């Protein structure tokens, strides 16, 4: 049982640290938050607020005490129960209600809702519906603060349940290693939904876990705003001095159920709830204000009336606002990319390998833009296991080229957090299979941040690494995973098949204001040198390349399959079949215009990819051809892909697994001879 008497065992705050005016300000803020939450729940029960929301009634002292210790330049990240934090940092009540009501004038345009409120002008970087995510994002924001030298510090609020997530440990380790100015603030409200915290926490408690990382930590009374203020002020001063993170565990209690939507019974006793209500943070602060003798009860009554009136006025204002339209919501998914009028430069006579071209793009973009940083495992002096980052550490130093622990979750989330704060991180995925350990950061954070935060955020980040089979690394190091991301709105997917395209597309990816998944094939690293211009250049995403003109069949292929398609076409030349090969170069955006123009000329099409057929991008292209060029087709669209199995280790079986020139030629012939 979560006995409220635990608060009586914690150190008493030094109330003389703050003036009477400060104490009154803390009380007023707590009243505002309490009244907001009470009315939000009532509106939810009436159906005015829909979906779900999570009340912070009972936890107001944490929000106001912590934010009272912050400066305007300081940032915070919060979680699904974050109304109090955002209000305490200065958020407008009316726009808060508007967002919960799904209105166009809400903080996120009615798109994000209760769990995703942000205000970048106030350095509120967003609430988050993924448990613990703010810690990884906060690490990135803190890295940006350190690199930018602006002196800001941040708080990542999280609940007791999040302390068991891997991101908690990964982020604390990274912040301790790099002395990042981030405060880890755990609101221990005794329950993760219905599970008692004490039943799922091993060891000496949440705060004590900081000892393993050399992070100062403390347990405080989370129902006393002065105690919270003192602990956060100390942590802020420490972080601002360059001494790194602090872990604070505040003992508190949520009065309501897990969410306004929940109606769960039987997991908390009446005695337990009554004990915590007796330690109401607002009642305690009210008594403290009266003890100062600077105001009397009538002043506090008038203050409560003023707060209540302000909340009602905000509700009235928000209720009359229009709702967003689908057309405007669609514009929030990605930052629009202007059309480039610059032609692609001629290849010239100087030659580079595929990986040398990628490396040159890194050098040129990092020299051009100081906000470009590179992070990954073994990307530093060693230059990466495939040599794509050679020389970068020497050229740009350890601040901008950072080796990270083997902790893909915080690596990716740290990159997203830094991107939200104006940097352009390149995140190397040592082998692309490890991207599965980054899925939250890529799919839930990077891809959705701009949209769910109302079109305000920019997330200029590149997730890159080698994928594909062909060098005998077995099933967990050789997958082709592009379609895991193709169905995620907000992401761009680049897949260069030549050194020329690799350099130009990498420059475009780094300069993009949207998150990019950049695929590099291991076999292409082993290819010969081919002509690549020395000067920096971009290739516009969504611009396909006609690799080889032809008249009888269009073949669409990417990455290592492009060369194999060329080999197949050369074989078929001898049989009088002329094959046109198109390399889309980017899977999202996809240049269907070039593909359709070719199909309308050849009247036949075959799509080739290395991944298994089922769910592969070939099905999407085939469907688009059938929908938009059906009248020109003389045969069904053919598809070539791997069998429905993981990649085998045995070298002969691996060769059999991967589509080759013979497989492609067979599919082209079958399509050409079928009518």
Considering 23, 116, 477, 521, which one is annotated as catalytic?
477
Local structure of 431: helix, strand or coil: coil
How far is residue 421's CA from residue 458's CA, in Å, rounded to a whole number?
9
How far is residue 555's CA from residue 171's CA, in Å, rounded to a whole number?
46
- Quote the crossing angle between the two packed helices 297-319 and 20-45, to the nearest 10°: 40
Q: H/E element holding 287?
A: helix 281-292
Encoded tokens for 206: 């949440």
The answer to whether 7 and 223 are in contact (CB under 8 A) is yes
The question of whether 258 is a catalytic residue gets the answer no
Considering 37, 170, 408, 492, which one is annotated as catalytic?
408
How far is residue 97's CA from residue 316's CA, in Å, rounded to a whole number?
10
Residues 6+ apart with CB under 8 A from 469: 478, 480, 522, 610, 647, 654, 657, 658
User: Left (φ > 0), alpha (ψ -120 to 50) or beta: where does 132 sit?
Assistant: left
How far is residue 63's CA from residue 59's CA, in Å, rounded to a whole number?
7
Alpha helix stretches (DSSP H) within 464-543: 483-486, 499-511, 522-525
Residue of 401, 392, 365 whose CA lies nearest to 511 = 365
How far is residue 279's CA from residue 135's CA, in Å, rounded to a whole number?
29
Full strand arrangement of the beta sheet holding 605-612: 545-548, 579-583, 553-557, 605-612, 638-642
The question of whether 68 is a catalytic residue gets the answer no
Residue of 125, 204, 212 whose CA lies nearest to 168 = 212
| Catalytically active residues, by annotation | 408, 477
């Amino acid at each position: 049982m979560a006995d409220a008497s635990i608060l009586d065992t914690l150190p008493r705050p030094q109330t003389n640290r703050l003036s009477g005016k400060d104490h009154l300000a803390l009380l007023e803020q707590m009243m505002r938050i309490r009244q907001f939450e009470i009315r939000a729940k009532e509106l939810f029960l009436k159906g005015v607020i829909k979906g779900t929301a999570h009340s912070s009634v009972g936890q107001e002292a944490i929000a106001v005490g912590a934010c009272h210790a912050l400066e305007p330049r300081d940032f915070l990240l919060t979680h699904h129960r974050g109304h109090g934090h955002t209000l305490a940092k200065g958020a407008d009540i009316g726009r808060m209600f508007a967002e919960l009501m799904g209105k166009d004038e809400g903080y996120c345009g009615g798109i994000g809702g209760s769990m995703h409120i942000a205000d970048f002008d106030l350095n509120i970087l967003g609430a988050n519906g993924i448990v613990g995510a703010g810690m990884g994002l906060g690490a990135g924001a803190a890295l940006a603060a350190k690199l930018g030298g602006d002196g800001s510090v941040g708080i990542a609020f999280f609940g007791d349940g999040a302390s068991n997530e891997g991101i908690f440990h990964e982020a604390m380790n990274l912040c301790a290693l790099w002395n990042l100015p981030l405060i880890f603030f755990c609101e221990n409200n005794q329950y993760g939904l219905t599970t008692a915290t004490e039943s799922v926490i091993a060891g000496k408690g949440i705060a004590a876990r900081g000892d393993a990382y050399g992070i100062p930590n403390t347990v405080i009374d989370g129902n006393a705003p002065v105690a919270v203020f003192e602990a956060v002020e100390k942590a802020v001063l420490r972080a601002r001095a360059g001494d790194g993170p602090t872990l604070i565990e505040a003992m508190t209690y949520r009065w309501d159920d897990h969410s306004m939507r929940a109606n769960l019974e039987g997991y908390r006793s009446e005695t337990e709830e009554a004990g915590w209500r007796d330690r109401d943070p607002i009642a305690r602060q009210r008594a403290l204000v009266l003890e100062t003798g600077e105001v009397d009860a009538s002043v506090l009554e008038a203050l409560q009336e003023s707060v209540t009136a302000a909340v009602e006025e905000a509700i009235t204002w928000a209720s009359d606002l229009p709702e967003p339209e689908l057309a405007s919501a669609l514009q929030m998914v990605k930052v629009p990319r202007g059309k480039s009028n610059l032609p692609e430069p001629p290849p010239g006579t100087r030659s580079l390998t595929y990986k040398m071209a990628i490396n040159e793009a890194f050098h040129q973009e990092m020299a051009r833009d100081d906000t470009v940083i590179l992070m990954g495992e073994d990307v530093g002096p060693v230059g990466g296991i495939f040599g794509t980052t050679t020389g970068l550490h020497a050229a740009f130093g350890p601040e901008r080229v950072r080796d990270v622990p083997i902790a893909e979750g915080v690596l990716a989330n740290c990159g997203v957090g830094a991107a939200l704060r104006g940097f352009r991180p390149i995140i190397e995925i040592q082998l692309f299979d490890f991207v599965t350990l980054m899925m939250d950061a890529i799919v839930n954070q990077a891809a959705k941040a701009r949209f769910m935060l109302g079109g305000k955020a920019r997330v200029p980040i590149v997730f890159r690494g080698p994928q594909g089979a062909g060098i005998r690394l077995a099933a967990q190091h050789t997958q082709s995973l592009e379609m895991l991301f193709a169905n995620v709105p907000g992401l761009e997917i680049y897949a260069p098949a030549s050194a020329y395209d690799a350099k130009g597309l990498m420059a475009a990816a780094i300069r993009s204001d949207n998150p990019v998944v950049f695929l590099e094939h291991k076999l292409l690293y082993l290819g010969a040198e081919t002509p690549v211009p020395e000067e920096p250049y971009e290739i516009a995403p969504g611009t396909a390349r006609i690799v080889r003109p032809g008249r009888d069949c269009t073949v669409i292929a990417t990455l290592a399959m492009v060369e194999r398609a060329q080999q197949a076409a050369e074989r078929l030349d001898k049989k009088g079949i002329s094959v046109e090969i198109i390399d889309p170069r980017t899977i999202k955006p996809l240049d269907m215009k070039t593909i359709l123009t070719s199909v309308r000329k050849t009247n036949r099409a075959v799509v080739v990819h290395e991944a298994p057929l089922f769910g592969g991008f070939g099905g999407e292209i085939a469907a688009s051809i059938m929908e938009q060029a059906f009248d020109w087709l003389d045969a069904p669209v053919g598809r070539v892909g791997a069998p429905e199995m993981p990649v085998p280790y045995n070298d002969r079986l691996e060769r059999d697994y991967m589509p080759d020139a013979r497989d492609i030629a067979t599919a082209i012939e079958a399509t050409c001879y079928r009518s």
